[in-house]
Structure 1
Amino acid sequence: MELIFATNNAHKLEEVQAMVGDKFILKSLADIGCTDDIPETGITFQENAQQKTDYLRSRYQVDCFGDDSGLEVDALNGEPGVYSARYSGSRDMEQNIDLVLSKLGDSSNRTARFKTVISLFLQGEQHFFEGSVEGRIIEQRIGTEGFGYDPIFIPDGYTQTFAEMSLAEKNKISHRAKAIAKLVAFLKEKTA
């Protein structure tokens, strides 16, 4: 069975395909000729993820899934949240990190989490899967791996930032890996 993943990130597609196995053939937006910039105007991760699946099924009539994720910092009332990728008004992650650190200042409350929500539209039904990882924001960047806010986030139970971990280490505990694992378990159960 074919399933469209609302992404053009080849690495993400390959990673999820490996987890799903051969019962589903995953295709990217490019694979179906979708070059549109799919809107993300929701105020929650779930709304943004669902916008992607609604967009694809209304235009292409396909089974599909999409995700949205971001960083929630408790002392900033959950910011940057759904605006994580453009928190500073641009998609420049260095500026976004600077803004988070500036707003936090010397606050002692540095608890935060990364969160992912996946929206799946399959055989006429909508399903959601969520993953999160708790941690804290440190005062300066450490590490060069990963992307986004990884250099300032240390997950609970660890002493390294996500940016200091290998991709394999991060993928064992990340918010996205947890949500994808739930999606994969559901898909495997559907095709058992």
Structure 2
Amino acid sequence: MTRKLVLASNNAGKLKEFNELLATVDFSAHPQGEFGVPEAEEPFFTFVENALAKARHASRLTGLPALADDSGVCVNALGGAPGVFSARYAGEPKSDARNNEKLVAELAKHEDKSAYYYCVLVFVRHADDPQPVIADGRWNGVMMPEPRGEGGFGYDPYFHVPELGKRAAELSKEEKNRLSHRGQALRALVEKLK
């Protein structure tokens, strides 16, 4: 019997990607908007604390098990920035164009352009679950000063994948899911849930 869980997101792409793998452990994810759950605050400085806060928030308001992720790009020369602030690196309102512009300007001062995408997934059985299931994934690359590719979102046009000689925005959906930080974290989470 398939069990329902709430995904602490309304991102349709994420929902589809998550459901493909969650089906193997008899879960079906439903976006929090389906239950009228507003976005949770993300006040923390670590990915795991933000993901846990989002999962507990969604579970508390629905009474269902919940899954949340927090992810971003971390640039080594910038001490891990933008990190948890990736979506709002250039301030409010959120803007991929302004975020990328700021990152390219910051990186121009540095020789080291190495970076990685990082993702943490947190699954809670209930809002006060004392043992959340946590999985993470890391995808190494290099930030480039000019964009390439039409796919993906966020920093993908600037995130170069050396082993493929392509930007994340140039990869097929299948390639990206296989390699990405989120794909890695999701596969690790599914193994733990088994």
TM-score using structure 1 length: 0.92
Residue in structure 1 matching 2:113, options 93, 110, 114:
110
Between the aligned residues of both structures, percent identity stands at: 32
Give 1:106 shift.
4.9
Aligned to 1:18: 20
Give 1:28 shift.
1.2
Q: Deviations over 1:75-104 (max 9, x none)?
A: 111110000001011311111001111011
Residue in structure 2 matching 1:65, options 52, 67, 76:
67
- For structure 1, the residue ranges without an aligned partner over 5 or more in a row are none
Alignment of 1:137 with 2:140, yes or no, is no
- For structure 2, the residue ranges without an aligned partner over 5 or more in a row are none
What is the letter of the counterpart of residue 122 of structure 1?
R
Q: Which runs of structure 2 are paired with 1:138-177 in the superposition (5 Å)?
A: 138-177=144-183
CA RMSD of aligned residues (A): 1.4
Q: Deviations over 1:47-70 (max 9, x none)?
A: 110110121233333211100000
Give 1:160 shift.
0.3
What is the letter of the counterpart of residue 3 of structure 1?
L
Q: Distance in 1 between matches of 2:175 and 2:64?
A: 34
Aligned to 1:55: 57
Residue in structure 2 matching 1:126, options 120, 125, 132:
132
Q: Distance in 2 between matches of 1:97 and 1:150?
A: 10
Give 1:33 shift.
2.5
Residue in structure 2 matching 1:100, options 99, 103, 116:
103
Alignment of 1:182 with 2:188, yes or no, is yes
Secondary structure of the structure 2 residue equivalent to 1:21: helix
Q: Distance in 2 between matches of 1:27 and 1:37?
A: 14
What is the letter of the counterpart of residue 124 of structure 2?
F
Q: Distance in 2 between matches of 1:101 and 1:13?
A: 30
What is the letter of the counterpart of residue 192 of structure 2?
F
TM-score using structure 2 length: 0.91
Q: Distance in 2 between matches of 1:103 and 1:25?
A: 41
Alignment of 1:85 with 2:91, yes or no, is no
